[in-house]
Amino acid sequence: MKPLTRLNRLLSRLPTHLAVVVMCIMWLIPTLGLFITSFRPREDVRTSGWWTVFLPREQVGQVEYETYCASCHGADGKALPQADLTNPDLIARYPRSNRLLAMLRKEINGRPHLVDPPLPENPRQAQEFLSPVLTYLQTISGGHVAGHRFTLRNYADALVGYKGTQDYLTDCQQGVSSTLAKFNCDASDLLNPEGMGRAFLNTVIVTVPSTILPILFAALAAYAFAWLDFKGRQWLFAILVGLQIVPLQMTLVPIARMYVRLGIADTFLGIWLFHTGFGLPYAIYLMRNFIGSLPREIFESAYLDGANHWTAFRRLALPLAAPAIASLGIFQFLWVWNDFLVAKIFLSTHPVLTVQVTNLIDPRGSNWHILTGAAFLSFIVPMIVFFAFQRYFVRGLLAGSVKG
């Protein structure tokens, strides 16, 4: 009886399981596609979907070759010594099927070419047959080697911000000078201003102080709101609640102009201050709720023991608020790391990751291989932080789910 009930229960739960699993897959697939694409060679990315990495590769053009050419040139292409189709120099003369077609239309040694079966008269249709044949010939002559299915070169390109002919590593090896003007082909390229490596560094420089500063000031203010008495405490805090949702768009231009006047436009200092200002209302709100909910007896007995407020703040409030600080830290860290608008406006000459990624969305297109790699580089740190400290992040969210 028992196994049957279990089966029954499983069956009745099946729709639930199905729904949960399907949703999870739907949520994962877009990111998975990006991830896989970032490891595929450019040509593959351009010509086939990322899911094809799970399918076997097909040999292009073999069928067409056997139909049109194998009767004279042989199955291996070597039957005619004067026209050895495995000779790369010969094949290199025909980079496109239209050149091949032009040659084939002429008579060779007084004999017309390609008569059995005849190539379609219409050049367009003829090219449709010849194009795969050419690809096949390029493959057997070794001029067109099918490379590995996965590569790390996209990441090299993204890190140094390379927009050259082939890829950064290959061009460096071959010394293609036309596209290497801004590169040294050594580790210093990681700091190239157009690369994700430099952007990564910039992001770290922006994020760390922008996370610590607001927490520091917020802790002080939160202590006052929680354990000090002053006139207007209630309404000042109410305003703070309101300030949390002031759209930052409201402040961009006045602050930008203020920075120009102060001479800190486009500096890290400017963006630290901005993030501090905008992080504060929420940080104070969260910390005050947390510090305020600590048992009052602890503070009373400390005070009886002769401690003053400064000691109470440093020795009691701060250590006890560690979980709140952790939540807030993660929250602010992710917020600043992922911010785009503020960095775009206040730090345009030191692009952070998000800004650099949008710079790499080459309006010219066809660089998904680099873009996916770059996007993934920008995810790594927040992903790690997120999964390592998910608990604190969730707690921070729950403590006050409003954020400007």
Partner 1 sequence: MTVPTIMRQGRWTPWFYLLPALVIMFVFIVYPTFNTVYLSFLDKTSTRPASAACVPDEPCWGIFENYRYALTNPEMVIALRNNALWLLLMVPGTVIVGLLFAVLADKVPYESVAKSIIFMPMAISFIGAGIIWRFVYYIETGGGEQIGLLNAILVALGREPVAFLSNPAINNFALMVVGVWLWAGFCMTILSAALKGLPAEVLEAARVDGASEWQVFWKVMLPMIMPTIVVVTTTMVINILKIFDIVFVMTGGNYGTEVIANRMFKLIVTDTGRSMAIAVLLIVLTIPIMVFNVRRFRREEAAR
Partner 2 sequence: MKGLLAKLLVASAVIALLVAACAPATPTQAPPPKTEEAAPPATEAPATEAPATEAPATEAAPAQPDMCMGAQPGDELSVMYQWSGAEEEKINAIFKPLVDACGIKIVAESTRDAAVLDARVQSSPPDLLFWPTTAPLTLYTDKLVPLDTLGANADNYASFWIDLGSVDGKWLAVPVKADIKSIIWYSPVQFEAFGYEVPTTFEELDALVEKMVADGNVPWSMGFESGAATGWTGSDFIQDILLAQQGPEYVMGIISGDIPYNDAGVVAAYETYVKWAADPKYTVGGADGTLNTPFLEAIYKVFSDPPEAMMVKQSGFAGGEIVKEYPDLEYGTDFDFFAFPGAKGMQGGADFLMAFSDKPAAKAMVAYLTGEEGATTWAQVGFDLSPNKLAEGKYTDPQLAKKAEALANAAGFTPDLGDTIPAPFGEAEWKAIIEVVQGGDIATALEAAAAAQAEALGK
List the interface residues with partner 2, window 228-247 (CB under 8 A). Answer: 235, 238-239, 242
Minimum distance, C-beta of residue 77 to partner 1, in the bound complex (Å): 27
Nearer to partner 2, 135 or 289 (CB): 135
**Segment 224-253, which members bind partner 1 (CB under 8 A)?**
224-230, 233-234, 238, 240-247, 249-253
Smallest distance from the beta carbon of 128 to partner 2, in angstroms?
Answer: 6
Query: From residue 88 to residue 107, what is the string marking binding to partner 2 with x (rule CB under 8 A)?
Result: ----x--xxxxx-xx-----
Nearest distance from C-beta of residue 131 to partner 1, angstroms: 11
Buried b (16+ CB within 10 A) or exposed e, 311-339: ebbeebbbeebeebbbbbbbbbbbbbbbb
Q: Which is nearer to partner 2, 164 or 292 (CB)?
A: 164
Helix (H, G, I), strand (E, B) or coil at 118: strand
Q: Is 249 in the site for partner 2 (CB under 8 A)?
A: no
Spatial distance between the Cα atoms of 340 and 336, rounded to a whole number of angstroms: 9
* Partner interacting with residue 265 (select from partner 2, partner 1, none; CB below 5-8 Å by kind): partner 2
Q: How many residues bind partner 1 (CB under 8 A)?
A: 101
Cα torsion angle, 320, 401, 226, 332, sign: positive
Among 66, 117, 358, 362, contact with partner 1 (rule: CB under 8 A): 358
The nearest distance, CB 267 to partner 1, in angstroms, is 15
What the block records as the tokens of 19 is 């729904």
Collapsed DSSP state (helix, strand, coil) of residue 108: strand
Of residues 7-66, which lie at the interface with partner 1 (CB under 8 A)? 13, 16-17, 19-21, 23-24, 27-31, 33-34, 37, 45-51
Q: Give the 3-state secondary structure of residue 87.
A: coil
Contacts made by residues 238-244, CB under 8 angstroms, sequence distance 24+:
240/281, 240/284, 240/285, 241/281, 241/285, 241/402, 243/281, 243/404, 244/281, 244/282, 244/285, 244/402, 244/403, 244/404
CA distance 287 to 74: 80
For residue 115, what are the β-bridge partners? 118
Residues that bind partner 2 (CB under 8 A): 92, 95-99, 101-102, 122-124, 127-128, 130-131, 134-135, 164-165, 181-182, 193-194, 235, 238-239, 242, 252-253, 256-257, 259-261, 265-266, 344-346, 348, 359, 361-366
